[in-house]
Chain A
């Protein structure tokens, strides 16, 4: 047995551990080197000490860090704003938040702003008031639906439920758009109420759209809300470009609508949790 030849001075386990950890140097390193080269027993000990478990853990850690999903810009922003990382992911998968859609929204806003700036006064304020609040409605309509969310059915039957997801997604679209529109309204020629008159209707119309999705396909719900809003703006406007919606009373009425629609959404929340028959035609259409 080779072990017998060198059995006199086996290095201690501590020394071997240090050797394995490449902590030895100089003469000690050399002597252990010599010994290990000859001693089978110490090689076995050494193999034990070169912690394979630790090595495996190291690989696993590396593997994990490679697997780690990398959040996109929007998701990082949401996390920065303090949203829980899981919710940020759900919000970030909102179909309506895709760059193409946001680009279109920004384009429409710029258009509306240009109208406000350069069009005759009698259409300017109204163009702004009609367009801006409709954008989050479109966003809400595109946030969750059988034909837009590829994982619709899966999301529907997940324990997290459809209601929080609808809220989360529409609100993140709304907040994003309010951000963009807020910057836009700084460029408005008129200041005061006219510059912020779009804000309450945005919220109100979004809530109305959400409430309607209990019975209507989200896109239909969005279209109905947008159409109703256009009619409402036209009906309440005068030919000189003033509108009751641009007054304090009008804004209070809209604020009332926010409360009513919000209450309706909360009351209806359990109905969001099931596939409604209305979803069916679109689900059928989605099948190849």
Chain B
């Protein structure tokens, strides 16, 4: 009986002298896990390793009971995982239907009728049934992203790896996309990377913060917010001692850091927790 979890231990990946992932360990269960981190944190490297596109230099992976680091396990893993790459591309001449059908071929659904049924199912799941006969190049960015999500769920893989699925979408499309992902999280193990804290707040039950190739936080979104408890306050002017501060729509300044005595404390948000967590991070200073 394969376990419905994905466990990663001690993952190391180098590119030349640069260490992209340094001793990364994490566990995923059913539901949506958000992988949060600044650019260059190693998110895509981690997702590519999990998607079997890349192999780690060290470490072990248990993917629903499969070891994808062996040649045999890798093929098995590819059947149980669905991957939405960071920059999904499409063959220019394909319609949405033809593209998904092609992905079905790559996923070795050899029975044509069955494959076409599956194509219709996934296009319906992402709400693209109406445009299935249209060339992908004529579709909007949001629709293309949905085509890519449809491609990731062909054959109903139990482990979904989504690399920045909401990037480039307008608020409306993003909302619709979150709904889709939340639905998938009901009975799949979903790992999505993002650098948007709103995405995590809106749909993740579990959040992992990756920065400089290491895991800085692993817990619930509430815990991440709580990290900033007692360290968020507002004031009329920007507090010079604050780690960060910005004027909000209400006209006051939202500060995070070490509040002065007597400051009006605010309920911390996920973003506050995330920013404080990454504050003073040497790896981030490097990036910035």
Bound complex: CA A204 to CA B102 (Å)? 31
On whether the beta carbons of B133 and A66 are closer than 8 Å, the reply is yes
Across-interface contacts of B101 in A (CB, < 8 A): 69
A161 beta carbon closer than 8 Å to chain B: yes
State in angstroms the CA–CA spacing of A272 and B77 once bound together. 17
Q: Which residues of A contact B92 (CB under 8 A)?
A: 150
- Chain B positions 101-157 with a Cβ under 8 Å from a chain A Cβ: 101-103, 105-108, 110, 112, 116, 119-120, 132-133, 151
**Residue in chain A with minimal CB distance to B88:** A154
In the bound assembly, the distance between CA atoms of A93 and B105 in angstroms comes to: 12
Chain B 79-100 interface mask (CB, 8 Å, partner A; 1/0): 1010101111111100101100
Contact A157 B78 (CB under 8 A): yes
Please state if A159 and B83 are interface contacts (CB–CB under 8 Å).
no
Interchain CB contact under 8 A, B85 and A150: no
Q: Which residues 46-82 of B have a CB within 8 angstroms of A?
A: 48, 51-55, 71, 74-75, 78-79, 81
Once A67-B97, A150-B91 are accepted as A-B contacts, the answer to whether A158 and B53 lie under 8 Å apart by CB is no
Tell yes or no: A286 within 8 A of B by CB: yes
- A68 CA / B71 CA spacing, docked (Å): 35
Are A275's CB and B54's CB within 8 A? yes
Chain A residue at smallest Cβ distance from B80 = A159
B12-63 contacts to A (CB < 8 Å)? 15-16, 48, 51-55
Q: Which residues of A contact B79 (CB under 8 A)?
A: 159
CB pair B53 A270 closer than 8 Å: no
CA distance A58 to B49 in the complex (A): 46
Q: Give the contacting residue for B116; candidates A64, A161, A275, A277; CB below 8 A.
A: A64
- Shortest B125–chain A CB gap in Å is 16
Q: Which of A83-91, A104-112, A242-250 contacts B (4 or more CB under 8 A)?
A: A83-91
Chain B residues in 8 Å Cβ range of A157: 51-53, 78, 81, 83
Taking the complex as formed, is A41 at the interface, i.e. its CB lies under 8 A from any CB of chain B? Answer: no
How many angstroms between the C-alpha atoms of A140 and B75 in the bound complex? 25
Knowing A86-B110, A159-B79, say if A150 contacts B120 (CB, 8 Å): no
Q: Cβ of A161: which chain B residues have Cβ within 8 Å of it? A: 75, 78
Report yes or no: A159 in contact with B102, Cβ–Cβ below 8 A: no
A234 proximal to B (CB < 8 A): no
Contact present for B102 and A89 (CB under 8 Å): yes
Does A159 lie within 8 Å of B87, measured CB to CB?
Answer: no
CB of B106 within 8 A of CB of A159, answer yes
A64–B114 alpha-carbon span in the complex (Å): 12
Whether B83 and A154, one on each chain, are in contact in the complex, defined by CB atoms closer than 8 angstroms, is yes
Q: Which of A90, A153, A159, A275 has the most CB of B within 10 A?
A: A159
- Given contacts A151-B90, A157-B51, whether A270 and B85 have CB atoms under 8 Å apart is no
CB-nearest residue of chain B relative to A86? B105
Residue A235 lies at the interface, judged by CB distance under 8 Å to chain B: no
State A69–B101 Cα separation when bound (angstroms).
Answer: 8
> Which residues of the other chain, A, contact B97 by a CB distance below 8 angstroms?
67, 69
Q: Check if B87 sits within 8 Å of A273, measured CB to CB.
A: no
**New contact pairs (11) apart from A150-B91, A157-B53, A158-B106, CB-CB < 8 Å:** A150-B89, A153-B53, A153-B85, A153-B88, A154-B88, A154-B106, A157-B83, A158-B107, A160-B107, A274-B54, A286-B87
**Which A positions have Cβ atoms within 8 angstroms of B?**
64, 66-69, 85-86, 89-90, 93, 149-161, 270, 273-275, 277, 280, 286-288
- Minimum-distance CB pairs A-B, first 5: A150-B89, A158-B106, A153-B85, A159-B78, A69-B98
- Ordered by A's residue number, 14 sampled pairs between the chains whose C-beta atoms are within 8 Å are A69-B95, A89-B105, A93-B102, A150-B90, A151-B88, A151-B89, A151-B91, A153-B51, A157-B83, A158-B108, A159-B78, A161-B78, A270-B71, A286-B87
